[in-house]
């Protein structure tokens, strides 16, 4: 005996849900495809909100609590929207040895936020990565998807200034 | 696709390559790309077009050439290697193709960094265009697969791998041939092959480099493994943080499918193999086999007790073979040259070569492939060029958060699985971080414990709460508020975690602490008893930043 | 294979026992009234091997193995108590006490708590690791039940009983490591859960005072678990 199952309608008329639907279809709308689908949602919308989690969970017939458990287990996923700019400091061993902690404390000092947080004005998010694999260029920082190597606290501050200046 | 057709593709490719009088290879792996090597490549293309040299000189994007710290790197068919190349240098380099190389950009290749390496896994890195299957085929690629499919039986393939003495390159060093034969013998309707490309050790980038530089080599290794154990489906579990590796793998899979090297009835035989990617999402624990399997199944990546081992009950409950990227990358050469050939490289118990990501306080940071058994001194001082700024060597860290820190007295120790383990570290996946006197070993131990605490899945009590407690104790030591009983408690927790944790992450989490307690006890003592940090690291970061 | 080979003989603490080959060390020990401490294990639920309290020594094996998931083998020699095992078990229990806020005197499950009784049995007089004192939530939004995260030891019995027996999968674990927590649905107040059937199975399998019924005095806070083997048996019959 099978229960009738009708796929839920997307949370909004936003056309980007089609991308999410396409991923789920490619994976046979199977619960196994949960992580891959969450990747698509995050890539498309920037983060995973409750609506998105609910839609994906019900579409793939995954219990709600399991979907939430998976989304919060993996640090690549974020449940909050990121700031206008993101600054990812690599905290891999090579970067740590070559001064990443100083970069991080410079950021914390200037922006008054901790890693994983976004400034109150929504301009800058600070994140850490476990290792970008650019150890030859330590310490490395990713400014809005661009990797920069051998970064000093001064370089970092200049970039922050540029971001805040451009936006004011 | 038949062996003859494959040979024809290879012939055509070699013919095309031979038409060019000159060739310029620009490294387009992540390290050099972050130094703007793409714009260097574009500049060469433009300059070649401007000069009307399209038939005379080929400009090619290739994989990693190893010396990442000196990027962007460019090499020419004449054998010149250039470092720190910018887009503005393109014309000058082209001008010099017929004469002496541009001396101000030359990177010497007659130095130990290049001469002391032995390349098997990285043989194509920096030479072939990773986005064109024809180039891989042109350099004998997929030849081993053809040979396996047309001339060998699955047990013969397993036997060849057993004979090679290859051991898992993911860290633990389990004999690959034994693993293959267990999966081959396991009863099951469907069997699966998984390639572990969730390179999680902070300070390791070997797998990323192999995937970016030569993705077909990994696919070929997986295909041969699938044939040997009787699997028809496979997954590559790759970190989402490696977008370039993912892109090149996707391209490689599409190309192999188009040529009929992946898919159904490969090479007209009954062997079929389909492969798909699964993206890791930032969980170090997923390097553990059972956690990785849970993650591929779309679940939280928590490990489960073994047995049953994945070889008997793995992905979706079926027998599953899991090997690391570098392990698969060794397979094609083993089949091409024979297990006997491979077993002659390295030491008695550790065969072949190992790729290391050399980083930290060392002159030549980058990727190196060396025969097993080479000494740490040769890697750090010969190949690595020693410690910059006239400082002193203090320790080398191998194996990441599961490994240990080895002091100078171990520099002459051969690098093999047993020796490293005996010294209190592990081979690990190949991260090698060099430290000088500016590093505080207690701070380093705390760094790794913080990592393990953050990466603990939280399933078992000793790892979940124990890594937290150890991290707190180490924080107190680095803040110089700890007392001698705290040190005793730290040692007690090391013993507890090592013996009672559920999986390898928890069991090996104490390794960085234990190795530094063993070899750098005086530094702990200075922090606890004299309330000072000999390296001047602890407690100074806040002041430096402000 | 002859049926005889399905029966294995093994030694536990020096005494000979026979067991079916699909039985675990823990099962055999319990049948024979040999005490092995456990927390996450509960008869009728799947095993996870997470609390590490049931680790035992096996001759010829360097590693300690969890009795709850380790199957018997012919000629196996198991030791369930030793100075070393005792020390590790005490340490693990102590770590649990430091992890959250277990204040027995004000706990609804005082005197009916598995964590507490195990600590008494293993004669833990004080905890030598520092306490964390985390801020933990108490959710009383459900009309009949309360979840007090201060007392949770993350054994995941509630998660398992809800998924495996009730079939609702209202509970799961969110986050990881020291920040892990059990949650209902999308980490929402229990009272607002759409999937909870209010059956109360989770409450009755909870080993501590993390899950409890409202309006009951401490003396009445006994957990009833007879339903579990009963339901499991009836289901096996039905299948």
Q: Encode pLDDT of B237-247 as tens digits.
A: 999 988 999 99
Q: Do the Cβ atoms of C169 and A63 come within 8 Å?
A: yes
CB contact under 8 A, B500 and C92: yes
Query: What is residue A7's predicted lDDT score, i.e. its pLDDT?
Result: 85
A76–B281: do the CB atoms touch at under 8 Å? yes
Query: Domain boundaries in chain A?
Result: 17-73, 85-167
Which two three-digit tokens encode residue B414?
């051969």
User: In order of start, what are the domains of chain C with their CATH numbers?
Assistant: 3-81 (3.10.20.740), 129-238 (3.30.70.20)
Mutation target vs C (from B459, B463, B467, B502; most C CBs, 10 A cutoff): B459
CA atoms of C152 and B239, how far apart (whole Å): 33
SS3 breakdown of chain A: % helix, strand, coil, rounded to 5? 50, 10, 40
Query: For B496, which residue in chain C has the nearest alpha carbon?
Result: C88
- Interface with C, mutate which of A51, A61, A64 (most C CBs under 10 A): A64
What three-state secondary structure class fits B101? coil
Domains of chain B: residue spans and CATH: 19-109 (3.40.30.10), 141-343 (3.40.50.11540), 353-436 (3.10.20.600), 441-541 (1.20.1440.230)
* Chain C residues whose beta carbon lies within 8 Å of the beta carbon of residue A64: 185-186, 194-195
Residue C224 pLDDT: 83
d(Cα B252, Cα B237) in Å, to the nearest integer? 15
- Against chain B, the chains showing at least 3 CB pairs within 8 Å are A, C
**Looking at CA atoms only, how far is residue B290 from chain C in angstroms?**
13
Q: Does B20 touch chain C (CB under 8 A)?
A: no
Please state the ipTM of this predicted complex: 0.95
Listed in sequence order, the residues at least 6 apart from B215 whose beta carbon sits closer than 8 Å to its beta carbon are B130, B245, B248, B249, B251, B252
Q: Which residues neighbour B530 within 8 Å (Cβ) at sequence distance 6 or greater?
A: none
- Shortest CB distance from C50 goes to which of B459, B489, B492? B459
Confidence at residue A96, expressed as pLDDT on a 0 to 100 scale: 87
pLDDT over threshold 60, residue C91: yes
pTM: 0.94
Q: What angle in degrees, to the nearest 10, is found between the helix axes of B154-164 and B215-229?
A: 120
**Residue C208, CA distances (Å) to B123, B461, C42, C147, C169 in order:** 59, 16, 13, 11, 21
Max alpha carbon distance in chain A (Å)?
66
Options 3.30.300.30, 2.40.50.140, 3.30.420.40, 3.40.30.10; CATH for A85-167 is: 3.40.30.10
pLDDT at B207: 94
Other Cβ atoms closer than 10 A to B263 = 15
Average pLDDT over residues C67-96: 97
Give the length of chain B: 546
| Yes or no, beta carbons of C186 and A66 under 8 Å apart | no
Give the span between the Cα atoms of B257 and B266, in whole angstroms: 10
**B329 within 8 A of B197, measured Cβ to Cβ:** no
What's the angle, vertex CA C54, arms to CA C53 and CA C58, rounded to 5?
130
Question: Which residue in chain A has the smallest CA separation from B435?
Answer: A97
Q: What is the pLDDT of residue A35?
A: 98
pLDDT of B453 strictly over 80 = yes
Q: With an 8 Å Cβ cutoff, are B35 and A149 in contact?
A: yes
Contact B468 C177 (CB under 8 A): yes
Q: Check residue C239 and give its pLDDT.
A: 63
What is the reported pLDDT for B542?
Answer: 41
A50 touching C (Cβ < 8 Å): yes
What are the residues whose beta carbons fall under 8 Å from the beta carbon of B236, sequence distance 6 or more?
Answer: B194, B195, B197, B218, B222, B249, B275, B276, B277, B278
Helix (H, G, I), strand (E, B) or coil at C172: strand
What would the mean pLDDT of B210-230 be, rounded to a whole number? 98
Residue C89 is inside which H or E element, if any? helix C83-99
Cβ-based burial of B115 (10 A; exposed 0-12, middle 13-18, buried ≥19): exposed
Distance CA B68, CA B73 (A): 8
All residues at 6 or more sequence positions from B105 whose CB lies less than 8 Å from its CB, including other chains: B82, B83, B84, B85, B89, B92, B93
Q: Chain-centre distance of CA C233, in angstroms?
A: 20
Write down the mean pLDDT value for chain C: 94
How confident is residue C3, by pLDDT bands cut at 50, 70 and 90?
Answer: low
Give the DSSP letter of residue B261.
S
8 Å CB contact of C186 and A64: yes
Q: How far is C51 from chain A (nearest CA, A)?
A: 19
Say yes or no to pLDDT of C2 above 80: no
Instruction: Collect all residues of chain B within an 8 Å Cβ-Cβ radius of residue C92.
Output: 461-462, 496, 500
Report the distance separating Cα A135 and Cα B367, nearest Å. Answer: 10
Check CB contact under 8 Å for A65 and C186: yes
Task: Measure CB to CB from residue A64 to each of C163, C173, C195 and give the nearest one.
Answer: C195
Q: From CA C53, how far away is CA B395, in angstroms rounded?
A: 37
| Contact between C129 and B469 using a beta-carbon 8 Å cutoff | yes
Number of neighbours of residue C236 by Cβ within 10 angstroms: 8
Tell me the C-alpha distance between B206 and B362, whole Å: 17
A63/C186 CB distance under 8 A: no
Given a contact cutoff of 8 angstroms between Cβ atoms, the answer to whether C122 and C90 are in contact is yes
Q: With contacts defined as CB-CB under 8 Å, which chain B residues touch A94? A: 202-203, 359-360, 365, 433
The bridge status of strand B192-197 relative to strand B74-76 is unpaired
B residues 259-288 near C, CB within 8 Å?
A: 283
CB-based contacts of B179: which residues, under 8 Å, 6+ apart? B168, B311, B321, B323
Q: What number of other Cβ atoms are within 10 A of residue B451's Cβ?
A: 26
- From the list B300, B465, B496, the residue facing C98 with the nearest CB is B465
Q: Chain B: residue nearest C155 by CA?
A: B459
- Looking at residue A77, its pLDDT comes to 95
Q: Cβ of C178 and B464 within 8 Å?
A: yes
Percentage helix, strand, coil, to 5, in chain C?
35, 15, 50
Higher pLDDT, A117 or B419: B419
Q: Residue A34: closest CA among chain B residues belongs to which residue? A: B298
- Residue in chain A nearest C178 by alpha carbon: A73
pLDDT at position A166, please?
61
What pLDDT is stored for residue B546 in this prediction? 37
For B80-135, how does the pLDDT look when each residue is reduced to its tens digit (9 = 90+)?
999 999 999 999 999 999 999 999 999 999 999 999 999 999 999 999 999 999 99
DSSP 8-state class, residue C164: I
The Cα B233–Cα B227 span in angstroms is 11
The answer to whether the CB atoms of A64 and C163 lie below 8 A apart is no
Q: pLDDT for B132-168, tens place per residue?
A: 999 999 999 999 999 999 999 999 999 999 999 999 9
| B461 and chain C in contact, CB less than 8 A | yes
B112 contacts B118 by C-beta, under 8 angstroms: no
Q: How many CB pairs under 8 A join A and C?
A: 42
Nearest to B129 by CA among B119, B121, B137: B137
- Residue A24: both structure tokens together: 């789920």
To the nearest whole Å, the CA of A5 is away from the closest chain C CA by 17
C194–A64: do the CB atoms touch at under 8 Å?
yes
How many cross-chain Cβ pairs, B to C, lie less than 8 Å apart?
A: 87
Residue-wise DSSP of B370-391:
EETT-BHHIIIIIIS---GGG-
> Best mutation site among B359, B511, B535, B542 for testing chain A: the one with the most A CBs within 10 Å?
B359
Q: How far apart are CA B259 and CA B5, in angstroms?
A: 10
Q: Tens of pLDDT along B470-512?
A: 999 999 999 999 999 999 999 999 999 999 999 999 999 999 9
Phi-psi region of B95 (alpha: psi -120 to 50; beta: other; left: phi over 0): alpha
Query: Is residue B443 within 8 Å of residue B478, measured between CB atoms?
Result: yes
E-strand stretches of B173-317: 192-197, 233-239, 274-280
Cβ of C172 within 8 Å of Cβ of A73? The answer is: no
Q: How far apart are CA C85 and CA C70, in angstroms?
A: 16
DSSP one-letter string for A105-166: HHHHHHH---TT-B-TTS-EEEEEES--S-GGG-S-EEETTEEE-S--HHHHHHHHHHHHHH
pLDDT exceeds cutoff 70 at C4: no
- B128, B13 Cβ separation under 8 angstroms: no
Give pLDDT tens digits along chain A (168 positions).
567 778 899 999 999 999 999 999 999 999 999 999 999 999 999 999 999 999 999 999 999 999 999 999 999 999 999 889 999 999 888 888 889 999 999 999 999 998 888 998 889 999 888 777 677 788 999 898 888 888 999 999 999 998 887 654
Interface of C with A (CB under 8 A): 163, 169-176, 183-187, 194-195
C172 contacts A66? CB cut-off 8 A = yes
- Secondary structure element (H or E) that encloses residue A88, with its range: strand A85-90
Q: Is B432 helix (H, G, I), strand (E, B) or coil?
A: strand
Can you say how many angstroms the Cα of residue B250 is from the centroid of all Cα atoms in its chain? Answer: 19
Q: How many helices (DSSP H) and strands (DSSP E) are in chain A?
A: 7, 4
Q: Over the stretch C30-55, which tens digit does the pLDDT of each residue have?
A: 999 999 999 999 999 999 999 999 99
pLDDT, tens only, C177-224:
999 999 999 999 999 999 999 999 999 999 999 999 998 776 666 788
Q: Residue written as tokens 């026992």? A: C17
Residues 108-137 of A with CB under 8 A from B: 108-109, 129-137
State which residue of chain C sits closest to A67, comparing Cα positions: C186
Tokens of B343: 């077993």
CB B430 within 8 A of CB B287: no
DSSP string, B450-488: HHHHHH--S-SHHHHHHHHHHHHHHHHHHTT---HHHHH
Contact criterion met (CB below 8 Å) for B407 and B370: no
Q: Closest Cα to residue B89, out of B103, B70, B76, B105?
A: B105
Closest partner CB to A65 (pick from C175, C176, C185): C185
Asked if the C-beta of A79 comes within 8 angstroms of chain B's C-beta atoms, the answer is no
Residue with structure tokens 């995260």?
C149
B315 or C222: which leads in pLDDT? B315
* Interface residue of A100, A135, A145 to substitute, partner B, most B CBs within 10 Å: A135
Structure token pair of residue C87? 């020390």
Angle between helical axes of B206-213 and B325-337 (0-180°, round to 10): 60
d(CA B143, CA B331): 12
* Distance in Å, alpha carbon of A104 to nearest chain B alpha carbon: 9
- B540, pLDDT greater than 80: no
Question: Mean pLDDT for chain B?
Answer: 94
The confidence score (pLDDT) of residue A95 equals 87
Q: How far is CA B212 from CA A88, B64, B252, in A?
A: 22, 8, 10
């Amino acid at each position: 005996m099978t229960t009738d199952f009708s796929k839920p309608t997307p949370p909004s008329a936003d056309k980007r849900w089609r991308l999410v639907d396409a991923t789920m279809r490619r994976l046979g709308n199977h619960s196994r495809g949960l992580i891959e689908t969450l990747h698509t949602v995050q890539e498309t919308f920037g983060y995973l909100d409750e609506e998105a989690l609910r839609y994906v969970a019900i579409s793939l017939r995954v219990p709600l609590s399991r979907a939430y458990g998976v989304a919060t287990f993996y640090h690549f996923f974020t449940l909050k929207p990121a700031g206008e700019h993101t600054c990812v400091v690599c905290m891999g061993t090579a970067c740590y040895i070559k001064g990443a902690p100083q970069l991080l404390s410079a950021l914390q000092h200037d922006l008054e936020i901790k890693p994983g947080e976004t400034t109150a004005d929504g301009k800058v998010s600070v994140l850490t990565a476990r290792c970008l694999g650019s150890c030859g260029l330590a310490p490395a920082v990713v400014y809005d998807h661009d990797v920069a190597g051998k970064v000093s606290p001064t370089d970092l501050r200049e970039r922050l200034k540029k971001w805040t200046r451009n936006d004011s | 696709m038949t062996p003859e057709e494959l040979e024809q593709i290879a012939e055509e490719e070699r013919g095309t390559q031979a038409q060019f009088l000159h060739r310029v290879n620009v490294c387009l792996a992540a390290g050099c790309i972050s130094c703007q090597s793409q714009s260097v490549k574009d500049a060469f293309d433009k300059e070649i077009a401007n000069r009307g040299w399209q038939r005379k000189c080929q400009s090619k994007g290739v994989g990693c050439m190893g010396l990442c710290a000196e990027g962007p790197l460019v090499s020419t068919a004449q054998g010149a290697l250039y470092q720190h190349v910018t887009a503005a240098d393109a014309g000058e380099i082209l001008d010099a193709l017929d004469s002496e190389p541009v001396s101000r950009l030359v990177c010497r290749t007659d130095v130990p960094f290049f001469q002391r390496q032995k390349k098997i896994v990285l043989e194509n890195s920096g030479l072939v265009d990773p986005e064109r299957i024809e180039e891989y085929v042109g350099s004998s690629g997929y030849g081993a697969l053809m040979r396996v499919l047309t001339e060998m039986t699955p047990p013969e393939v397993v036997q060849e791998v057993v004979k090679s003495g290859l051991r898992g390159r993911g860290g633990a060093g389990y004999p690959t041939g034994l693993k293959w034969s267990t999966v081959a013998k396991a009863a099951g309707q469907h069997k699966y092959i998984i390639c572990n490309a969730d390179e999680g050790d902070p300070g390791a980038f070997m797998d990323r480099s192999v995937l970016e530089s030569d993705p077909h080599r990994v696919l070929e290794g997986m295909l041969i493994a699938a044939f040997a154990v009787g699997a028809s489906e496979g997954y590559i579990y790759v970190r989402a943080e490696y977008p370039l590796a993912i892109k090149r793998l996707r391209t490689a899979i599409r190309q192999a499918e188009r040529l009929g090297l992946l898919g159904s009835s490969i090479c007209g035989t009954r062997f079929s193999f389909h492969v798909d990617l699964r993206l890791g999402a930032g969980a170090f624990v997923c390097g553990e086999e059972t956690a990785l399997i849970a993650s591929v199944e779309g679940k939280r990546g928590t490990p489960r007790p073994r047995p049953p081992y994945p070889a008997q009950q793995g992905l979706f409950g079926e027998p599953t073979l899991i090997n690391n990227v570098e392990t698969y990358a060794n397979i094609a050469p083993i089949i091409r040259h024979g297990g006997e050939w491979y077993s002659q490289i390295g030491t008695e118990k550790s065969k072949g070569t190992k790729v290391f990501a050399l980083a930290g306080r060392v002159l030549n940071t980058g990727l190196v492939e060396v025969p097993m058994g080479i000494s740490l001194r040769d890697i750090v001082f010969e190949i690595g060029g020693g410690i910059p700024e006239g400082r002193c060597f203090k320790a080398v860290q191998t194996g990441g958060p599961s490994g240990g820190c080895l002091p100078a007295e171990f520099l002459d120790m051969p690098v093999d699985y047993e020796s490293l383990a005996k010294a209190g570290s592990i081979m690990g996946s190949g991260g090698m971080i060099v430290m000088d006197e500016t590093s505080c070993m207690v701070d380093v131990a705390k760094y790794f414990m913080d990592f393990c605490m953050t990466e603990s899945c939280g399933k078992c009590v000793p790892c979940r709460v124990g890594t937290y407690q150890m991290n707190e104790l180490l924080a107190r030591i680095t803040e110089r508020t700890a007392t001698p009983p705290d040190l005793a408690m730290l040692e007690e927790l090391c013993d507890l975690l090592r013996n009672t944790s559920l999986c390898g992450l928890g069991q090996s989490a104490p390794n960085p602490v234990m190795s530094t307690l063993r070899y750098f006890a005086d530094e702990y003592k200075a922090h606890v008893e004299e309330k000072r940090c000999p390296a001047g690291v602890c407690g100074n970061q806040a002041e430096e930043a402000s | 294979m002859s049926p005889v080979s399905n029966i294995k003989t093994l030694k536990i603490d020096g005494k000979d026992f026979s067991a079916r080959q699909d039985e675990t060390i823990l099962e055999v020990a319990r049948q024979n009234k040999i005490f092995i401490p456990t927390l996450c294990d509960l008869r009728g639920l799947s095993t996870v091997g997470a609390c590490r309290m049931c680790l035992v020594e096996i001759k010829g094996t360097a590693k300690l193995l969890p009795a709850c998931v380790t199957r018997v083998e012919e000629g196996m020699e198991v030791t369930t108590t030793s100075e070393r095992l005792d020390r590790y078990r005490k340490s693990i229990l102590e770590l649990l006490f430091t992890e959250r806020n277990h204040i027995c005197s004000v706990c609804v499950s005082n005197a009916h708590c598995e964590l507490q009784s195990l600590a008494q049995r293993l004669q833990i007089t004080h905890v030598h690791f520092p306490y964390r004192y985390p801020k933990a939530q108490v959710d009383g939004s459900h009309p009949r039940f309360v979840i007090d995260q201060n007392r949770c030891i993350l054994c995941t019995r509630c998660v398992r009983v809800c998924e495996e027996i009730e079939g609702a999968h209202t509970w799961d674990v969110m986050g990881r490591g020291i920040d892990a927590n059990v949650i209902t649905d999308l980490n929402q107040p229990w009272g607002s859960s759409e999937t909870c059937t209010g059956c109360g199975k989770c409450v009755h399998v909870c080993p501590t005072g993390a899950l409890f019924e409202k309006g009951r005095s401490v003396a009445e806070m006994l957990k009833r678990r007879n339903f579990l083997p009963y339901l499991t048996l009836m289901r096996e019959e039905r299948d």
